[in-house]
Structure 1
Amino acid sequence: MSTVSKPVASRAPLMDRADERLQDRSGIAGSVRGFIDRVRSGDLGSLPVVVGLVVIAAIFQSINPIFLSPNNLVNLLFDCSTIGVIALGIVCILMVGEIDLSVGSVSGFASALTGVLWVNHGWPVAGAILGALLVGALIGSIYAFLYNRFGMPSFVSTLAGLLAVLGLQLYILGSTGSINLPYDTALVNFGQILIMPGWVSSALVVVAGVVLLLTKMRNAARRRAAGLSARSTGAIVFQAAVITILLGLVVFYLNQARGVPWMFGLFVGLVLLMNYAFTRTRWGRILTAVGGNREAARRAGINVRMVYASAFVLCSTLAAAGGVLAAARLASSSQQAGTGDVNLNAIAAAVIGGTSLFGGRGSAYSALLGIIVIQAIASGLTLLDLSSSLRYMITGGVLAVAVIVDSLARRSRVSHGRA
């Protein structure tokens, strides 16, 4: 009698639970697990700079209780705005893997040009500011031409530009060496005393929270419509609520003194505008692509030369804008404007904030977070009446640590397939 063998039941394929596509990321707990996994794989985001800022604040506050006083924080925000705008331009140029060493000189020249055109030649203040910005854009276009046409490394061209533009600054100021800007004018008041009314800053926080919530909800809906995983509604609402509450508490605390400076509001507005350009426009996507792999971007049909030109022009224009704000802050245009540690602080702020020196990775928020760290160190050391030499050493050490963290995180992302 023949025996009939029973069919062997096929085994279900084994699933790798390490595959993030098979992991549950729903709810607030799932979002927290996803964040921890991203950190472990080297996708640190703004975590290092936030932790560093908390440590810096705790140290200086324990030594001098004035550090976290509302009045000192308001002064810190005023000082953040000038170099922060310059650092925002550095983020643009670092995104494509290049560097601009002349941003300090360009900002100083823009400051001097504003004073010369406004005070010495009687131009309207708006015309003087526009002229300074146009000259900044022209300088950036020269760097772009040298890079695209002759292949001159940006390190060399901008180093030459640093010296040439500094010479122009000294030349237009002449033997006097400085120009005092008229007090009680819109530009000087903007840089020194203009503060948002409390209700305006509070309303802006609420608007920012609503916009953040709607943006993330829309992005999640688009991902679900495309058949992709998306964060749960509860996690999105929780994140938006936490961020809004924290910002609201900060604004409430600052309003116990003078309040939020309008100049810092302008800086934050530029950060939000650049963040939108980086993340929501075709230009931002191709900027990241060129910085990640220039040859691949070129073969994909991207106009690589145009991308580099836009980055150089935008960097120099924002440097000029920072110089105008510095003139407003100091109520003068002098030979010292843009010199000293302006270059160091602008580049350090972008890198410390999380922008990669290797290109293809960065955020507009890098300039905001990085310059707050830089100015927090400067303010804390000033309150302790310590020499500027110590500030240079500490800032250099923080910059070195930031670059090391970026290198290690990049290596970890490569090993985890996230690069």
Structure 2
Amino acid sequence: MATQTLPEKQQAPQAAVRVHFRDYVERVRGGELGALPAVLGLVVLCVIFSIVRPAFLSAGNFANLFTQGAAVTVIAMGLVFVLLIGEIDLSAGWTSGVCAAVLAVLLTFHGWPWYLAVLAAMLTGALIGLVLGTLVAKVGIPSFVVTLAAFLAFQGVLLLLVKEGTNISIRDETILAIANSNLPPLLGWIGAAVGVGAYAVVQIVQARRRAARGLVADPMGVIYFRIAVLAVIVGAAVYVLNLERSRNALLVSLKGVPIVVPLIVLLLLFWTFVLRRTAYGRHLYAVGGNAEAARRAGINVDRIRISAFVICSFMASIGGIIAASRANSVDPNTGGSNVLLFAVGAAVIGGTSLFGGKGRVLDAVLGGAVVAVIDNGMGLMGYSAGVKFIVTGSVLLLAASVDALSRKRAAATGRRR
């Protein structure tokens, strides 16, 4: 009996998908792990906590995960830019606290409208980054020393702003809504449909343009699979978040996507575009990969380094605003405690390298999710803060080890990272 074969038009797409999959496996074996460790870790953690504590999967806890990890995630987004150039910012946590205090003081004591107070807080963050970046790039002081000094100094600045320990309450409804209010369910579905649709259009158009120019493009089967996976994840998340979370829905209804979620998505899309689609993004990676080679190529290395610190502190200011919104107040501990440790951990756990030249803004989101899941899940299981710190530190060490080993593997196989 003759062997039946698929028509040639059907074989070609399937063969392209197989080749793409084999190439991906080879890249992983060669040390290009990308976000794979973070995604696998997130899945494993969610499965474990769901089995041990079924309440972990409740709609209320699911929504709490987003608001709980939002501030750390946003600060981690900014840290990605500094880590990309092989530097560090130890003051990002307290920078967020100082900017939050500026917001609170202007709102509460001076009666500024919320939009001017937010603008002042963000400008404060950008100015802090400009000073830090200039000291590192122009004066030549190591970033560890500069930001460690700022880490200490900003605690004092925060104390002065809150008058040596005063808790400044925030009553502005717009600011409080950032981390405490939700979108109407219908608006959540519309946003999800628009987001997935926009992603699908961009992916398909990009693939067809590359194919038309004779460039290597991902097979359409792979692209359709990505779109389907994104649609399922986003749809499931919106469905769960639109469930009633209030214990007494007759008195107070609590459902919908938290407002902070689309805010994080917009920041993710904007900074991803900056890194992947602009000359500035390419220059940032070039400086992180080899600063001297970048300088010889005509890139203004000092300007790139300063701008990375500006972006980092600017994002810290947004993280501080979110933290102030969630707490409804600002106090001497805002931005302190474990904020910096969790933010750096989120960036590294997500896949951003401590060696520079490798990282994405998405890494901060994935790592932030891992950190939030650990903190939330272990809290539900009744573990103490000490155990949470030990587990989070162990995960961070594991992520850094994976990065170091993958770099060695990439060097051994002749792959550039």
TM-score, normalization by structure 2: 0.91
Match of 1:242 among 206, 229, 232: 229
Q: Which residue of 2 aligns with 1:413?
A: 410
Matched, 1:400 2:397: yes
Residue 353 of structure 1: how far off its partner (Å): 0.5
Could you tell me which runs of 5 or more consecutive residues in structure 1 were left unpaired when the two chains were aligned. Answer: 1-23
Matched, 1:79 2:68: yes
Q: Which residue of 2 aligns with 1:387?
A: 384
SS in 2 for 1:67: helix
Deviation digits for residues 238-270 of structure 1 (CA, Å, limit 9, x no counterpart): 221222222212221222242321112101210
Residue 26 of structure 1: how far off its partner (Å): 4.4
Matched, 1:316 2:316: no
Match of 2:175 among 187, 198, 201: 187
Change (3 A) 1:211 1:413: farther
Alpha-carbon separation, structure 1, partners of 2:152 and 2:160: 12
Matched, 1:218 2:226: no
CA contact (8 A) 1:208 1:244 kept: no
Q: Which residue of 2 aligns with 1:8?
A: none
Alpha-carbon separation, structure 1, partners of 2:297 and 2:14: 34
Q: Which residue of 1 aligns with 2:190?
A: 203
Match of 1:347 among 337, 344, 348: 344
CA contact (8 A) 2:346 2:368 kept: yes
Residue 159 of structure 1: how far off its partner (Å): 0.4
| Corresponding letter in the other structure for 1:187 | I
Q: How does 1:20-419 map to 2 (within 5 A)?
A: 26-182=15-171, 185-192=173-180, 194-257=181-244, 258-419=255-416
Alpha-carbon separation, structure 2, partners of 1:347 and 1:305: 23
Alpha-carbon separation, structure 1, partners of 2:69 and 2:405: 28
CA contact (8 A) 2:32 2:406 kept: yes
Deviation digits for residues 134-187 of structure 1 (CA, Å, limit 9, x no counterpart): 11111111111111221101000000011111111101211452111116x111
Residue 78 of structure 1: how far off its partner (Å): 0.8
Residue 97 of structure 1: how far off its partner (Å): 0.7
Alpha-carbon separation, structure 1, partners of 2:387 and 2:92: 24
TM-score, normalization by structure 1: 0.91
Deviation digits for residues 3-40 of structure 1 (CA, Å, limit 9, x no counterpart): xxxxxxxxxxxxxxxxxxxxx99433333222222211
Change (3 A) 1:175 1:293: closer
CA contact (8 A) 1:87 1:347 kept: yes
Q: Which residue of 2 aligns with 1:19?
A: none
Deviation digits for residues 322-364 of structure 1 (CA, Å, limit 9, x no counterpart): 1111111100010010111001000000000110111111011
| Corresponding letter in the other structure for 1:253 | V
Which structure has the bigger radius of gyration?
A: 1
CA contact (8 A) 1:209 1:241 kept: no
| Corresponding letter in the other structure for 1:223 | R
CA contact (8 A) 1:27 1:235 kept: no
- Of residues 35-44 and 70-79 in structure 1, the stretch that sits farther from structure 2 once superposed is 35-44
Residue 50 of structure 1: how far off its partner (Å): 0.8
Alpha-carbon separation, structure 2, partners of 1:207 and 1:146: 43
What is the aligned length?
Answer: 395
Could you tell me which runs of 5 or more consecutive residues in structure 2 were left unpaired when the two chains were aligned. Answer: 1-12, 245-254
CA contact (8 A) 2:159 2:165 kept: no
Alpha-carbon separation, structure 1, partners of 2:94 and 2:226: 41
Alpha-carbon separation, structure 1, partners of 2:22 and 2:367: 27
| Corresponding letter in the other structure for 1:250 | A
**Identity between Structure 1 and Structure 2 (%):** 41
| Corresponding letter in the other structure for 1:214 | V
| Corresponding letter in the other structure for 1:188 | L
Could you list the structure 1 runs, at least 4 aligned residues long, displaced by more than 4 angstroms after superposition. none
Alpha-carbon separation, structure 1, partners of 2:40 and 2:71: 24
Alpha-carbon separation, structure 1, partners of 2:58 and 2:116: 38
Deviation digits for residues 372-411 of structure 1 (CA, Å, limit 9, x no counterpart): 1001011011112221111111110000000000111111
SS in 2 for 1:338: coil
CA contact (8 A) 1:25 1:33 kept: no
Alpha-carbon separation, structure 2, partners of 1:365 and 1:263: 16
- Of residues 294-303 and 127-136 in structure 1, the stretch that sits farther from structure 2 once superposed is 127-136
Alpha-carbon separation, structure 1, partners of 2:414 and 2:227: 29
